[in-house]
Amino acid sequence: MRIPLIALLSIIVINLLTDAYIYYQAKHCSIKYKWLKKAHVVFSAILYIALAIIAIAPKKEVDSNTLRILMWTLYAYLSTYVPKYTYLLVSSFSFLPRLKKSKKQYLLHMPA
């Protein structure tokens, strides 16, 4: 029982750090639309709630409809966070030239 709880907490901490980095990037890249940052925070909170529901829901004696809902929720969660992790990885490569005191390279996005 404790191992899934520890795994859940570690996933939540990693996701919070990822979301904080993406929010920091959105805040400092002078995005025109202020609602976009708020939508990111709200959507991330909804996904955290969905992850908590997946973790809390009993999985031994469920019918097919409940299992289908759990699987679709897990699919929505993973289909959102896999691109976030990909962005984090690609964005971290753009900061490598700063270690050599050169100009930041933009690999997949243009500067604002």
Residue 58 amino acid letter:
P
User: 49 vs 2, which has greater pLDDT?
Assistant: 49
pLDDT digits (tens, 9 = 90+) for 47-82: 888 888 877 777 677 788 888 888 888 888 889 999
The DSSP call for residue 110 is -
**Tokens linked to 49:** 């709630």
pLDDT digits (tens, 9 = 90+) for 100-112: 665 555 655 555 5
Residue 80's CB is within 10 A of a number of other CB atoms, namely 15
pLDDT digits (tens, 9 = 90+) for 25-44: 877 776 677 788 888 889 88
Closest CA to 51 of 12, 19, 16, 88: 12
